[in-house]
């Protein structure tokens, strides 16, 4: 991925972390200190998100697979472990299907939805984009300063948004409002992003947030078709982006999923 921005810390086997639509690599900050003593942790900003510049191509799955293959080669990663949330979970499953990684951990992955669920999820994301873009900065700051306000801003995304600092809420809102990759990615998602798999030959963990208000949890038999040997977990007390809701639980899932 040309000019991709990433952070790398820790020791051990490499573990690449991929965020969701509208988010950025800092989504993983709560769990990175728990992972770093055990893994070489690489958190990336996808093109057009966070600090990574947009690219001129299609923001689809095939394009992302080619970009990740190039990125892995550029930074010296030979089939790393990979973990992702939402869109990052979908990309992680696709990387596993393509044989580019040695294990997959997907947290509430996109792409495993019915058409109705897809329309709802994309509608929620568009609404959050509009709110982040047009809510006056001064009002956003006032809301972010209090527990109730942080819940109003981010309660659909996190189960416990009050655990986030006001500064983090403000920075996330700004990133959501300005990410140039947001609309192209949603355009691609509207016409595709249906993952069928199957992912075989690598260990797979699919962990769904029990209080996910954006993506409905598929039935186990469908997940088994996508990844026949996957370990299926429920992240209790967590919302769609679970890393801030329960860092210890999510870190354990990531370490277990990338073991060996």
Q: In terms of Cα–Cα distance, which of 20, 45, 17 is closest to 30?
A: 17
Residue 2's pLDDT is: 56
Predicted confidence band of residue 1 (pLDDT cuts 50, 70, 90): low
d(CA 143, CA 102): 43
H helices of 75-111, in order, are 87-97
Residue 205's pLDDT is: 98
H helices of the chain, in order, are 32-35, 61-74, 87-97, 115-134, 137-144, 147-154, 166-178, 182-191, 220-226, 247-257
Q: Express each pLDDT in 123-173 by its tens digit.
A: 999 999 999 999 999 999 999 999 999 999 999 999 999 999 999 999 999
Question: How far is residue 174 from each of residues 16, 89, 196, measured CA to CA in Å?
Answer: 24, 23, 34
Percent of the chain whose pLDDT exceeds 90: 92
Q: Residue 205's beta-bridge partner residues? A: 105, 231
What is the arithmetic mean of pLDDT over 223-250?
97
Predicted confidence band of residue 178 (pLDDT cuts 50, 70, 90): very high
Residue 56's pLDDT is: 80
List the chain domain ranges. 6-114+193-257, 118-178
Residue 9's pLDDT is: 98
Q: Are 130 and 114 in contact (CB under 8 A)?
A: no
What is the arithmetic mean of pLDDT over 242-254?
98
What is the arithmetic mean of pLDDT over 63-81?
94
CATH class of the 6-114+193-257 domain in this structure: alpha beta
Predicted confidence band of residue 191 (pLDDT cuts 50, 70, 90): confident
Residue with tokens 């962990």: 207
What is the arithmetic mean of pLDDT over 55-60?
83
Answering whether pTM is above 0.75, one says yes
Looking at per-residue pLDDT, the higher value among 1 and 226 belongs to 226
Least confident stretch, 38-42, 102-106, 191-195: 191-195
Q: Express each pLDDT in 94-109 by its tens digit.
A: 999 999 999 999 999 9
What is the arithmetic mean of pLDDT over 207-234?
96
Looking at per-residue pLDDT, the higher value among 57 and 78 belongs to 78
Mean pLDDT of the chain: 94
CA 122 to chain CA centroid, nearest Å: 15
Q: In terms of Cα–Cα distance, which of 251, 187, 184, 253 is closest to 10?
A: 251
């Amino acid at each position: 991925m040309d000019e991709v921005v990433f952070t790398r810390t820790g020791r051990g086997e490499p573990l690449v972390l991929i965020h969701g639509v509208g988010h950025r690599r800092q989504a993983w900050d709560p769990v990175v200190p728990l992972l770093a003593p055990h893994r070489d942790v690489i958190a990336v900003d996808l093109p057009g998100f966070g600090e990574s510049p947009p690219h001129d191509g299609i923001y689809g799955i095939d394009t992302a697979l080619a970009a990740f293959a190039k990125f892995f080669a550029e930074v010296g990663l030979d089939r790393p472990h990979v973990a992702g949330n939402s869109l990052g979970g979908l990309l992680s499953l696709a990387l596993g299907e393509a044989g580019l990684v040695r294990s997959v951990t997907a947290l509430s992955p996109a792409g495993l939805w019915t058409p109705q669920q897809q329309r709802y999820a994309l509608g929620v994301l568009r609404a959050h984009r509009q709110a982040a873009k047009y809510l006056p900065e001064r009002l956003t700051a006032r809301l972010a300063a209090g527990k109730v306000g942080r819940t109003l801003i981010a309660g659909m995304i996190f189960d416990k948004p009050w655990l986030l600092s006001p500064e983090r809420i403000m920075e996330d809102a700004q990133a959501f409002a300005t990410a140039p990759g947001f609309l192209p990615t949603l355009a691609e998602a509207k016409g595709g992003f249906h993952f069928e798999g199957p992912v075989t030959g690598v260990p797979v963990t699919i962990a769904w947030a029990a209080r996910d208000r954006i993506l409905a949890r598929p039935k186990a038999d469908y997940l088994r078709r996508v990844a026949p040997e996957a370990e299926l977990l429920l992240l209790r007390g967590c919302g769609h982006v679970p890393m801030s809701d329960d860092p210890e639980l999510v870190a354990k899932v990531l370490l277990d999923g990338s073991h060996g």
